[in-house]
Every structure is written in C-alpha cells, then in structure tokens.
Amino acid sequence: MAKIHNIGLVLCVLALAFVAAEAQDLSKYEHLKEPQINKMPRQNMLVVEAKGDPNVVAQEAFSLLFRTFFSLKGVQMSPPRGRWLNVFTDPKEEWVGLYGLPLPESITELPPEVEGARIEYWEYGEVAEILHIGSYSEETPTIEKLHKFIKEKSYKIAGPHEEIYLKGPGMASDPSEYWTIIRYQVKKK
C-alpha cells in the first residue's frame, strides 16, 4: 500500500511540475490582481471528491486525480482546481472538496477499472475572481477583498468556493510564491 501511495505522490509532483513548465508565463493572470467579474462557459471536468481538511486529504485526492487523468487518451494538462461545497457552513474537518482537472468534451466516460473518480460538468456563467499570490494559509484577506467587491458590484455568491492552482507545491520553492485564482459563481442581487 505504501508503494502505491508513493507512486501517486510521484505522479502528483510530476504533474505539478508539468503544469509549472506549461504555465511559466503567468503574466496573462496579472490583471486578476484586482477582483473582476468575468463570464465562463461550463467545463467538462475529471473530479475526485474528498471529505475533510484539505491540508490532510488533498494529497491523496490529487494523487488519484492525476493517476486517472494520465490514464486517459487525448488529454492536455491544465492547472488543477479545487471546489469546496460547504466552506461557509461547516468546520474545515467536514469540508467536502471536489478536486478537478478540465477534460476535452470528447471524453464522456472513464474506463471501468477507475474507482473514486468521475466526470461531470462544472457550471460557471458569471464569475467573480481574484489572483492570490502567497501561501494558502494567507488567503483570507484576498478572499475578503473579493467578497467586498462582489457586494459592491451588487452581486451575490451563487456557487462554491473554487481555487485554481497556477503555481504551488513542486513549482515554487517558497509558499510566498504560490499563485492561486480564487473564484465564485455570482448572480446579480
């Protein structure tokens, strides 16, 4: 079992390093240093669900996500994402996290031997988003800035808390160099 876990960890680190190589030019995200409202189409996603504190369960969830992703044909790596369905209502130990990677529309089912992962659409429409640069433990002021912006623009949050990991562990030697987009689906009040 430990050997399988180590293989998953290696795959996760390799996948994150691959994302880093693909996303060296982060300048296209600079405009998100200030919060914005944008429109996004729904996206076909490979998803692994895990319950618990992300600091505890994310490694195993991402390991399964990347193992499954790299077993599929015709996929192209994009930054991984995380969604938390009950971040506003429950303690962190009870959060339900959806760890995802975008898939081409042509992939509609997984091989029968795959367990613990699924394919689903993530709906978007109008979204409010902001770029956080720094460690995950220091996201709160950025999240608060985004919430204030949403309210000031007469919107309300209409979906889960979502994060897109542009630059993170395995891509930066120091957590102060992490780049994370924080996003919410929004609707006009």
Structure-token match 């009870």, residue found: 94
* The dihedral formed by the CA atoms of 105, 111, 116 and 121, expressed in degrees to the nearest 10: 10
Q: How confident is the model at residue 22 (pLDDT cuts 50, 70, 90)?
A: low
Segments making up each domain of the chain, as ranges: 2-188
User: Which of the four CATH numbers 3.20.80.10, 3.40.50.720, 3.40.50.20, 3.20.20.140 does domain 2-188 have?
Assistant: 3.20.80.10
Judged by average pLDDT, the poorest of 19-33, 47-61, 141-155 is 19-33
Q: What residues form DSSP beta bridges with 39?
A: 126
The tens digit of pLDDT for each residue in 44-60 reads: 999 999 999 998 999 99
The two tokens of residue 181 are 């987009």
What residues are paired with 16 via a beta bridge? none
The pTM (predicted TM-score) of the whole model is 0.86
